[in-house]
Amino acid sequence: MTTSEAPGVVRLGPGAVILGIESSCDETGAGLVRLTDAGPELLGQEIASSSDQHARFGGVVPEIASRAHLEAMTHTVRTAFARSDIAPGRVDAIAVTSGPGLAGALLVGVAAAKAYAAAWDVPLFGVNHLAGHVAADTLEHGPLPRPTLALLVSGGHTQLLRIDDLAGRITEVGTTVDDAAGEAYDKVARLLGLGYPGGPIIDQLAAAGDPAAIRFPRGLTGPQDAPYDFSFSGLKTAVARFVESIERAGGSVPVEDVCASFQEAVADVLTAKTVRAATDLGIGTVVVAGGVAANGRLRALARERCAAAGLALRIPRPGLCTDNGAMIAAVGAHLVAAGARPSGPFLTGDPAMPVARVLAD
Ligand code: KG4
Ligand code: ZN
């Protein structure tokens, strides 16, 4: 199935199967996709999470995450094959998260992927985790229109990206100047004593609260502020001050209202800036991706505001928003469909891999 053109370039056609391996944070993911004329199709996947082991620390402990990846990797890969009805090893290429992420955690995935690629004699592509979050949407909704504006909201990143081509042309339009949206969720959950990860817990509690109960600040929304950048550390501090003032006065914290009002501030800023950027840049399609894209209020408000602005909106189903191996396989699929040079034998984890770099050397 492999045809070479420029020396070393691998280009695969419909029917090719790609294994994706993810290990950048606390989820060990393996997913299999098949290339079709309409883009990558998800065959099956498995995810093992170590989040329970981090809960009592209120955030991910890198050494614990690395160890958990090591313990979960082979079983996760084997299960992904079983779920996909593909015989183990019957793949045409492997994609693995090269970065960004935790150094030790990345290394486990890269080492495993190298071993599988050598054993099965298939090309290996070290790919960008952030491109993976966006590519996840193509598993559900098909190829992205060019260009598409992506709002990428995860535990480590909050960015607006212009996507001209998932196989290589991604440009940052805006980013957070301090905390990521998911980080703000996790920190607010921690200060409310709700556990880790904070996003799903706050999402759930917010449903019973009043989003207008407390007017928390909307970062970087003044007339002089960078229109496409984000800031969430002031919001987190405002929540902390609010909670402290109630506790000092001996009152009980209205947790549901705090969650709903915090969540409203996050969703309001994210969607307002996204719609503004798409409109200013003349981009007609928006995709929301990353773990925070699983958030109920963000999904609803994005739907409402994109419709009002005449923008097409795509959001992967919640299970494809949080970290998984299928999204990494999807990046691999876009790369081999376009023709790409596999990563070399010195491929390693790159904790600070820039978003514009989809494929590692
Ligand atoms: O993309 P992801 O799985 O991992 C990273 O690449 O960081 O995102 C994880 C983040 C965490 O901060 C988590 O609290 C947040 O996504 N998250 C949510 C929801 N589900 C996960 N945030 C808000 N609402 C949710 N339903
Ligand atoms: Zn992620």
Same domain, yes or no: 127 and 182: no
- What is the Å distance from ligand 1's center to 199 Cα? 6
pLDDT in tens, 224-250: 999 999 999 999 999 999 999 999 999
Distance between CA atoms of residues 305 and 229, nearest Å: 19
pLDDT at position 339 over 90: yes
Kindly state the percentage of the chain with pLDDT values over 90: 96
> For residue 356, is it within any domain?
no
Same domain, yes or no: 210 and 329: no
Band (6; pLDDT cuts 50, 70, 90): confident
| Ligand 1 pocket, mutate which of 97, 129, 154, 317 (most atoms under 8 A from CB) | 154
Nearest CA to 334 out of 205, 180, 163, 102 is that of: 163
- Which residues' Cβ are closer than 6 Å to ligand 1? 25, 154-156, 182, 185-186, 197-200, 203, 290-292, 294-295, 322-323
Query: What pLDDT shows up at residue 56?
Result: 85
Q: Which residues contact 120 (CB under 8 A, 6 or more apart)?
A: 89, 91, 94
> For residue 108, is it within any domain?
yes
Band (340; pLDDT cuts 50, 70, 90): very high
Query: What pLDDT shows up at residue 57?
Result: 87
Same domain, yes or no: 174 and 93: no
- What is the Å distance from ligand 2's center to 251 Cα? 37
- Do the bridges between strand 312-314 and strand 285-289 make them parallel or antiparallel, or are there none, so unpaired? parallel
Query: What pLDDT shows up at residue 59?
Result: 85
Same domain, yes or no: 117 and 176: no
pLDDT in tens, 267-288: 999 999 999 999 999 999 999 9
Backbone φ and ψ for 329, nearest 5 degrees, come out as -60, -35
- Domain total for the chain? 2
Same domain, yes or no: 222 and 303: yes
Same domain, yes or no: 183 and 274: yes
> For residue 355, is it within any domain?
no
Q: Per-residue DSSP letters for 241-307?
A: HHHHHHHHTT----HHHHHHHHHHHHHHHHHHHHHHHHHHHT--EEEEESGGGG-HHHHHHHHHHHH
pLDDT at position 1 over 80: no
Distance between CA atoms of residues 126 and 184, nearest Å: 29
Is residue 270 within 8 Å of residue 153, measured between CB atoms?
yes
| Ligand 1 pocket, mutate which of 292, 315, 317 (most atoms under 8 A from CB) | 292
Q: Is 66 helix (H, G, I), strand (E, B) or coil?
A: helix
Q: Which atom of ligand 1 is nearest to the CA of 290?
A: 1
- Burial (CB < 10 A; 0-12, 13-18, 19+), residue 308, is exposed
> For residue 346, is it within any domain?
no
> For residue 358, is it within any domain?
no
Same domain, yes or no: 49 and 89: yes
Strands across the sheet containing 158-165: 169-175, 158-165, 148-153, 285-289, 312-314
Same domain, yes or no: 10 and 106: yes
pLDDT at position 2 over 60: no
Distance between CA atoms of residues 137 and 320, nearest Å: 8
Same domain, yes or no: 160 and 193: yes
Query: In 85-147, which ranges are continuous DSSP H helix?
Result: 103-120, 129-141
CATH number, position 215:
3.30.420.40
Same domain, yes or no: 269 and 153: yes
Structural domain containing residue 22: 2-136+324-338
